[in-house]
Structure 1
């Protein structure tokens, strides 16, 4: 995702990151009393692949769950994004996945370290590592002018992406690093978290797995295999679905969900209630990996006092408007079919249709016009989010935000059982509909042959690794 510079100001380091890292203490790499202040991101590219790849694989294999996010070259607005027919919607998404590319992949691995419940403290502790993988599609693909302009404006380093992106194409897994990576994620047999994940799943399938099935029902049946863990436990948890249907947040776009969870986590700790503690791998900054590491600032406002808070944080409608205006272009583009949803609502004229940019929440009465710059001082404090050295790490940061949000929203179930609530699993929110999409097998639809062949091999390896854990 690419963030408005007013919200995410770049912090500059010298070419050698050592000067930045040595000035940070070990406490900078863990949340302090529920306060999450920094995100440690390791960039993976073709130049450092030989040193980062083993660490990436180890993090995946040790993970309790994995969070994912993609940076895309575009989607385009086409008729059919919000068609009542899921098959028609799928055809539009399929066409986009076949013609666009993945610019980067964000992977955040979360390892549950401890669950602690005493009279004095209730805490979930996770060890986390975030990777941002630059990917360069070697097959011709479409880019959109407005997307390039936004990426450039918000400091996406095109030269770095072109020179250091890990190539991928239509070749086999053995010759394709990114496809091998997705194979590893599936073989890990752990839950995966996404935010509004249908588009991500379609792009992952097309670019890192196999050609997308022709029909939506075949696609659902195929990917349902990915997310069926041992004993029938669901393996996909969508933060947008949980925010909309379970916790009932006022909004469900990623930045809002993360920021709300981050603030409430600090409040929970201050009140001696259950909170989430995050610790990043400090050792990676002291080894040969140190030059691949960036520290992203996500601290809460300086005047935020969790102990003095008397109620859960919420934002006004005016602040929501500004948040949506300032939110990342990648998120806006990725959820762009919400745009057509808002246009289809009664009361919008053709003149208004040319001006609005909408929230990612279908039910939000939020309209932001081009050129609107009014913001409040209070909003500036509450949205002074992630500061990164470059504009290339948005997918990695988004993957962390997604994973953290799911952990916080599921913290009670995690404390009791160590697992996410299965009732929330394998369900994704769909814009323009009142019911979520449920990923499940069908007695009437068969998976495509190519998937069956691939999945047989993956399932065999997955079962072998599960047996080794026991």
Structure 2
């Protein structure tokens, strides 16, 4: 299915179907140019500690939260970047295609864990199905490998090990917290020191980690950097580049099975302000507002983008964005309806074929999957916006047995400026993922990584 970003195909993975989907998940991970990840947690712990100005203390607090709380769902989006041309070095067609597969893993920690009340409210508001989680969630145990752990078993812990073995570039949005929870939940007990954690990550992900929130804040210098905002900006930029006959991105969802769902990407809060330009400044800046749907001002991201462009002095860019926004709003309903009709037609034709995806009314309940897709799409558009011809040595970067940290079409100078830099809230410099000459990797990591590569 070619690009229609009002809807995204998401495959939900549970304890009931992981055996059936395992081989295709690994194959799609193997083919990916990069993999985007997003995690939903049962809470983070003490908020004052997780936002502490001292980064070492912030890390300590987040580790404590990862030990007491759990990851309840995990989104993974595999992006394979290629051209429509038979010649992989030919960008003359001005189109870069990305074959995408999106997974939403429903997880259930097999050990006691804490759920924060605010996290419960947030998850329920976004359609998280706790009944499904407790009935069919993929079970896992946190920290170091337990005596009963079988690396050959099809589990989320084994899948994380497979991800490390593939050595693919990892993309996250505001990923510092996610990485701590991923490490503690599916890998090993987090090291006591932040410097050791950074050293561990540098070995776990040698192809690099990319944080789209850092890129948005420090490279693109956007007016806001919450995920839905940067995703919609990326979509608008793609529309502009297509109109200007510049290199643009086409997305093709390639995984259709009886566990895949057509998810609406109409993620905006369902309320309107009295005036279309009367936006909530809190939401416009951070993507959240304490009043939620009770707020009298607009939380609509399209209106917020318009508002920011009105404040901008770049009139040409403002006109381009407003034109694209107006066209997006005008066509949104008919395109969404058309896409749904296409899927309904396909399902009628193939009603005896279990590969037709169902239609879901919204992204609610599949938040991790759709967030992972938005993160990956934002990064893919960064690549497309700076696209250059693929070097010959990376023309086939997914060949089995070949390791490369190169991402197709991404210039090396840009790559060096954004790789392994994690966004830190309240700080004007990123956290660098690296192993210094004064820091050793942790004992838990050293023992675990050997088992990962030998299993």
What is the match of residue 348 of structure 2? none
Structure 2: distance between partners of 1:453 and 1:127:
36
Q: CA deviation at 1:274?
A: 1.3
What is the match of residue 48 of structure 2? 79
**CA offsets 1:117-168 (integer angstroms, 9 cap, x no match):** 9897412111000000100001100001222223223322111111110111
In the alignment, does 2:293 pair up with 1:375? Answer: no
What is the match of residue 6 of structure 1? none
What is the match of residue 22 of structure 2? 53
Residues 36 and 376 (structure 1 numbering): CA distance in 2 closer, same or farther, change over 3 Å?
closer
2:49·2:62 contact (CA, 8 Å) conserved in 1?
Answer: no
**CA offsets 1:93-112 (integer angstroms, 9 cap, x no match):** 11110110011110100112
Residues 369 and 110 (structure 1 numbering): CA distance in 2 closer, same or farther, change over 3 Å?
closer
Q: 1:294 pairs with 227, 245, 261, which one?
A: 261
Structure 1: distance between partners of 2:219 and 2:433:
18
In the alignment, does 2:70 pair up with 1:101? Answer: yes
What is the match of residue 238 of structure 1? 211
Query: Counterparts of 1:196-275 in structure 2 under 5 Å?
Result: 196-229=174-207, 235-275=208-248
Q: CA deviation at 1:218?
A: 1.2
What is the match of residue 341 of structure 1? none
What is the match of residue 57 of structure 2? 88
Q: CA deviation at 1:115?
A: 6.7
1:112·1:125 contact (CA, 8 Å) conserved in 2?
Answer: yes
What is the match of residue 140 of structure 1? 112
**CA offsets 1:285-322 (integer angstroms, 9 cap, x no match):** 3xxx32x1110223799xxxxxxxxxxxxx97825545
Q: CA deviation at 1:267?
A: 1.5
Residues 299 and 115 (structure 1 numbering): CA distance in 2 closer, same or farther, change over 3 Å?
farther
What is the match of residue 416 of structure 1? 389
Gaps of 5+ in 1: 1-28, 230-234, 302-314, 333-355, 358-367, 462-470
1:391 is paired with a residue of what secondary structure? coil
- TM-score of the pair, normalised by structure 2: 0.74
1:444 is paired with a residue of what secondary structure? coil
2:375 is paired with a residue of what secondary structure? helix
1:263·1:300 contact (CA, 8 Å) conserved in 2?
Answer: no
2:104 is paired with a residue of what secondary structure? strand
Q: CA deviation at 1:412?
A: 4.0
1:121·1:272 contact (CA, 8 Å) conserved in 2?
Answer: no
Structure 2: distance between partners of 1:123 and 1:319:
37
Residues 206 and 119 (structure 1 numbering): CA distance in 2 closer, same or farther, change over 3 Å?
closer
Q: 1:407 pairs with 366, 372, 380, which one?
A: 380
Residues 185 and 119 (structure 1 numbering): CA distance in 2 closer, same or farther, change over 3 Å?
closer
- TM-score of the pair, normalised by structure 1: 0.71
- What's the RMSD between the two structures over aligned residues? 3.0
Q: CA deviation at 1:113?
A: 2.5
Total equivalences in the alignment: 368
2:126·2:367 contact (CA, 8 Å) conserved in 1?
Answer: no
1:196 is paired with a residue of what secondary structure? coil
Query: Counterparts of 1:283-322 in structure 2 under 5 Å?
Result: 284-285=255-256, 289-290=257-258, 292-298=259-265, 318=279, 321-322=282-283
2:45·2:62 contact (CA, 8 Å) conserved in 1?
Answer: no
Gaps of 5+ in 2: 269-275, 305-324, 337-359, 391-407
